[in-house]
Structure 1
Amino acid sequence: MTTEAFTTTGSRRDRGGRPTDEELTTRILEIGADLLHEQGFAALSVGQVARDAGCGKAAIYRRYPGKAALVAAIIESRARLGEAPDTGSVREDLLAHVLQNQSNQEGLGFATGRGMQAMFEPEVYPILWDSIFRLRRERGVAIIARGVARGELPDDVDADVILDALAGLTLYRQAVKGIRVDRQHFLNVIDALLVHPPRLLTGDIEGD
């Protein structure tokens, strides 16, 4: 039986009782998230995060090369990609896809206000695109491609418009207006998009 001590969250401490790297990383991200919510990206200071976390700035810079990388890590730590849905129905798959997006926004702990706005900072967004957003978009495109293959959608459906419409509904209604999107509202919008799916414009069709 091991003699190593564990915290209440199950992470190990070294023999001297000092927090492990994992524990310090968790504390940095949690404190950073609180400060990001309170102050926003522009006012957030790596120095203040370090002071509140009880470490030096060097400990943060060893993990994250700059403030943008720290903020991206805060967001990544609270987002969950979940399983890629494949129910055999484009309607059900799109619903699962948008509900996961909604869960991620709410799971950030700051679904409205400065924290959410930090996602779209020019320095932060490219990091998140490579780590989260690209895979989310690829999953959405795959859902629509399966719908086309099953004959649920036309060959010239504009997948980007469908995905942007659903993501925009979640972002604008919850992050800007502060109103939670109900599951039935998602279904109503999905149904409308499936009944009259947006088509690629002539200039968008490859080869035209």
Structure 2
Amino acid sequence: MDRTDPAPAPRPAGRPRSQEADLAIMTAALDLLIEVGAVQLSIEQVARRAGVTRATVYRRFAGKTELLARTLEWANHDHNPAFVGWRDVEHMVGDIATYLTDPRHRRLLRRLYGSVDDYPELLATYRKVNGGRRAALVRQTLCQAQELGRLAPDADVDVTQEILSAAVLAHIGTRPDGESTEEIKAYLLRILEAVGYR
């Protein structure tokens, strides 16, 4: 008589699998970071919202800083490896403006810059995951504009890029969250025009 291996037993109901718990924990951490900020956020709050125990969170993350840093890596919005840049400066600024119309994105940026004294690792992580490749593509777009005569030949591209970044921070800090993509794009283009873009 042939012997066959028994079918695997069905997974019992109960606690979520590891990947499900990871997703629930980081989703809860990101939402709470946006809602209350890093200082007010606690592991207990994250566990409660994720539907897991504090022990489950601590098995994965040594503490709040590691949890939030890894959450920012996971939430990296610029994860498309096929993205190779923008057609021109207008296209680039329009993309930035679209990102800035989302109140969650704006609030996240404010939370990160507001926590720089207490949790500098968070802003460093955000810059690493969102700034490395994307920053290089911004610089490439500005250099292309300069080669085409759209940016003044004596303009310092690195400084221009810094000014654009500062304009983004100024906008999320001083302008209302309800502005449209076109309004934000016009604001950023005015900044660039002031430093030699035409």
TM-score normalized by structure 1?
0.66
Q: Name the structure where helix makes up a greater proportion of residues.
A: 2
Within-5 A mapping of 1:55-74: 55-74=52-71
Q: Which residue identity is paired with 1:15?
A: R
Moved more, 68-77 or 131-140: 68-77
Structure 1 residue 132: deviation in Å? 1.7
**Alpha-carbon contact 1:91-1:190 (below 8 Å) kept:** no
What is the identity percentage for the equivalent residue pairs of Structure 1 and Structure 2?
22
Distance 2:49 2:192 in 1: 50
Hey, what does 2:39 align to over in structure 1? 42
After superposition, the Cα gap between the structure-2 partners of 1:174 and 1:130, relative to the gap in structure 1 and judged at 3 Å, is: closer
Hey, what does 1:188 align to over in structure 2? 186
**Alpha-carbon contact 2:86-2:141 (below 8 Å) kept:** yes
- Stretches of structure 2 lacking an aligned partner (at least 5 in a row): 1-9
- Stretches of structure 1 lacking an aligned partner (at least 5 in a row): 1-13, 200-208
After superposition, the C-alpha distances for 1:6-60 in whole angstroms (9 at most, x for unaligned) are xxxxxxxx72234222211121122223433443212322243234434344533
TM-score normalized by structure 2?
0.69
The aligned length equals 184
Q: Which residue identity is paired with 2:131?
A: F
**Alpha-carbon contact 1:69-1:127 (below 8 Å) kept:** no
Distance 1:159 1:68 in 2: 34
Within-5 A mapping of 1:144-183: 144-183=142-181
After superposition, the Cα gap between the structure-2 partners of 1:169 and 1:100, relative to the gap in structure 1 and judged at 3 Å, is: same
Distance 1:187 1:42 in 2: 32
**Whose radius of gyration is greater, 1 or 2?**
2
Within-5 A mapping of 1:34-113: 34-81=31-78, 83-87=83-87, 89-96=88-95, 98-99=96-97, 101-102=99-100, 106-108=103-105, 110-111=107-108
